[in-house]
Structure 1
Amino acid sequence: MNVNDSQKFLDKVEGKNIDFLIGSGASSDYISTLSIGEKGNKHSIEDLLTAYNSQKMAQAFLKFLFFDSSVKNGLVSTIHIPEEAMDTLNSYKELIENMLTLSRHNGFERPKRTNIFTTNYDTFFEAAFDDISLEHPLAFFNDGSRGFFTREVSYENYYFNVTHSGSIDTFRREIPSINLYKLHGSLSWSKKVLKDDQTIITSSLKNELLTKIKEESDTILKMLNQGNRIEITDKNVIDQYLSNIERNEELKDKLGIFEKDYSKLLIVSPTKRKFQETVFQKQYYQLLREFENELQKDNTVLICFGFSFKDEHILDLLKRSISNPSLQIFIIPYSESDIEYINSVLKGYTDVTFLRSPDANEPGCFSVLNNFLEGVYDIENN
């Protein structure tokens, strides 16, 4: 969609039901994504797993590479956060600050609620929430978990409007709230079996399974490459590693153990068989349903950032959203090739507006999104 007037982006979104769809690009300055090939012709982990679909050991090796590059460092917190992750955390905090500002501008007739749907496993949003809640006591952050020592994660925990009444109940006002929907699971999630054999999902910064898998992956990395990170430039490099693995029975056994444990993580793996845990499968489909329900509401705005539009389930939901004539979709693209691809997969379904910096050479990034949310950029610059 082309916008030819100088109307501010904020004029388009204020007072609407505002949803965000955030993908792995948001955390890519700290957590890399596994891909090979030249820019504009890269192969993702999904492409690689599909290409080696019939080779059992190749599947285990690629999952190990994915875990080592894109998963294992994602459980961050404000208590123990690496220095190299601080810039990414600060970008998340600035985004949340802008979300709260948007919510406060909503009139009394609309809930002061923003929804974040993310496919990321990492806990940057949770860490940012933790910091910001100290500065904004009259703001409510909901990640779908409830409890004290045992925090149960459930889709039933999202349906709240939060009000502040003062110390003597002389008034009631709704306070801004942000719901975080982790569509692909989280590294903070674990399975817990209760005394009555009921299975629930819990959330904690202590994930014993993740710690165990990290130790297994570190051992494999030492055996493969003396502990140094493995750089994959093309499929020939993968084939060379696979050839070496086939000659090492101990390494094959350790990769088998790693793959078995990795499959128990409550995350959507980038494979055709996305997960094995039934309790997580139910949560996954309920969160997707919540995403679809949000897209069907009147006067809804969906702002997408860092998302590749290659997830089939989410893409199908977006295509079905054409039935909502009031839905507006804004996308912060990373490159021209992103724009071409997104236009091709959404062609004939719905119109989108690409939000770009006035500097045509600046890639899509947190600063571009935050500048639009702060009213620095006009929508005519898309």
Structure 2
Amino acid sequence: MATHDPIKHIKFLRQTLSQDKKPLGFFLSAGCPLAVQMPVGKWPLIPDVAKLTKFIADELKSKSNEKNNYDKLLEEVILSNKNDQNIEDILSFLRGLKEVSIGNSVRGFTNADLIELEKKICNKIVEKLEVNLPGKDTPYHKLANWISIDRDKPIEVFTTNYDLLLEEAFENLSIPYFDGFVGSKQSFFDLRAVEDNLIPNHWTRLWKIHGSINWFQKENKEVYRSSLTKENGDSYLIYPSHLKYEQSRKMPYLALIDQLNRFIRRPNSLLIITGYSFNDQHLNDTIISALKANPNSMAIALLYDTMTYEKDGAIIERYPEAVERATQNNLALWAYDEAIIGTARGKWKIQAHIEDVENLGNCYSKQDQQLKLGDFSILGNFLQALIGDNQSKLDEK
């Protein structure tokens, strides 16, 4: 069985992330907020999908014996073999019904019923996601601090999260960024600036692929970003995962997916993926097709925990979609105990001198011989170490 030397690959990553002329990007997904340390009893800052789904169910399900529309919606979700424990599946299913309910009713729901349900669900999502980072020493701030270094090529950050944690970190550190919108009161989406890259180099590019809790859509389909997270009458522009392909043609989703595609196709680009479980097939296809089209680009997915786990005596893949993609394409996976690099799967095994192990810092556990960059908090420390441990940027703010 193949093995991979963690020291060799950490050195490569350090060297690559220290360059200022190489196109560098980060892809942050749902697992990242879970890495933010919180006071006792306050963790997590933002719940995972399962806990968010339970919160919404507790809030919206009927408190009496009589079923309400949310109860009925969950019944239809189950009848359609969808996952009623995943609010993103529920919201996607609801929106599918809404599309075909115009001028009629579907499965006992009128179009007005579905519009009202969608608003209630999105309001509850915003209620849980409208939070602030606990201080200025979080992994988000450390990523932002690393991004703040002057470079010849700007950093591009892609995220499927619709919270405002990245924006908060950037603004805490006075780091200018562009998310596709321009203006003040009701910022509008500037497609030309996105596609033609008409943005200063010292501005970080922040691409929120699945929308945001402060993006809205008017009845005439016009999209805008607000300084508020509550707008009268307009619908939230929150696109959950598992989108149907016909939904993905909507703006600005299509423009931001294209931006991810264009970034990976740039010569010698490197995309660091963290907090992502590879459960969104549309995003997977976008990443893999771009990697195939540009063999000089690279994507490294830093996976949380081990590659497999044991259940009832059987070994189960924790990230089956990621493994399938990486064993056929130039996508690297770095889990705690194993890696797939150059399509070869193997355990981490140090093949260098012991003094080199000390230089790995806390991203490698000598005790259990695991490389833990898949933990966003450890990745933040790793990035902070690249620019020095004095935290001068953080202390100035």
- Scaled by the length of structure 1, the TM-score of the pair is 0.62
- Which of these residues, 140, 143, 153, is aligned with residue 95 of structure 1? 143
Name the counterpart of 1:183.
209
Structure 1 residues 50 and 202: CA distance shift in structure 2, 3 A:
closer
Matched residues in 1 for 2:92 and 2:199: separation? 43
Indicate yes or no: 2:273 matched with 1:304: yes
Secondary structure at the counterpart of residue 316 of structure 1: helix
Task: Give the conservation status (yes or no) of the 8 Å contact 1:145–1:203.
Answer: yes
One-letter code aligned to 1:121:
Y
Instruction: Quickly say closer, same or farther: Cα 1:56–1:19, change in 2 above 3 A.
Output: farther
Instruction: Tell me the amino acid that sits aligned with residue 126 of structure 1.
Output: E
SS of the residue 2:364 aligns to: coil
- 1:45 and 1:274 map into 2 onto residues whose CA distance is 19
**1:178-233 alpha-carbon deviations (Å, 9 max, x no partner):** 1011111111112247xxx7x53221132434x88xxxxxxxxxxxxxxxxxxxxx
1:21 aligned partner: 27
- In 2, the alpha carbon distance for the partners of 1:191 and 1:62 equals 16
Does 2:358 align with 1:352?
Answer: no
Would the alpha carbon gap of residues 127 and 351 (structure 1) be closer, same or farther in structure 2, given more than 3 Å must change? closer
Of the three residues 129, 132, 145, the one matched with 1:74 is: 129
1:156 aligned residue: 192
Structure 2, unmatched stretches of 5+, are 35-43, 52-83, 98-105, 309-317, 337-362, 387-397
Aligned amino acid, residue 153 of structure 1: F
Aligned length: 285
Percent pairwise identity? 21
Higher helix share: 1
The equivalent of 1:267 in structure 2 is: 238
Post-superposition Cα deviations, 1:221-258, rounded to whole Å, max 9, x if no partner, equal: xxxxxxxxxxxxxxxxxxxxxxxxxxxxxxxxxxxxxx
The answer (yes or no) to whether the contact 1:155–1:287 under 8 Å persists in 2 is no
Q: Provide closer, same or farther for how the CA distance between residues 361 and 326 of structure 1 changes in structure 2, counting only shifts above 3 A.
A: closer
Equivalent runs, 1:90-129 vs 2, <5 Å: 90-101=138-149, 104=150, 106=151, 111-129=152-170
Shift of 1:70: 4.8
Residues 67 and 188 (structure 1 numbering): CA distance in 2 closer, same or farther, change over 3 Å? Answer: closer
Q: Is the 8 Å Cα contact of residues 34 and 69 (structure 1) preserved in structure 2?
A: no
Cα RMSD for the two superposed structures: 4.0
Q: CA deviation at 1:114?
A: 0.6
C-alpha spacing 1:314/1:73, structure 2 compared with 1 (3 Å): same
Give 1:177 shift.
2.2
Q: Relative CO higher for 1 or 2, CA cutoff 8 Å, sep ≥ 6?
A: 1
Q: Give 1 or 2: higher strand fraction.
A: 2
Q: Contact 1:146/1:157 (CA < 8 Å) preserved in 2?
A: no
SS at match of 1:73: helix
Supply the AA of the counterpart residue of 1:100: S
Q: Is the 8 A contact 1:32 1:69 kept in 2?
A: no
Q: Distance in 2 between matches of 1:118 and 1:347?
A: 24
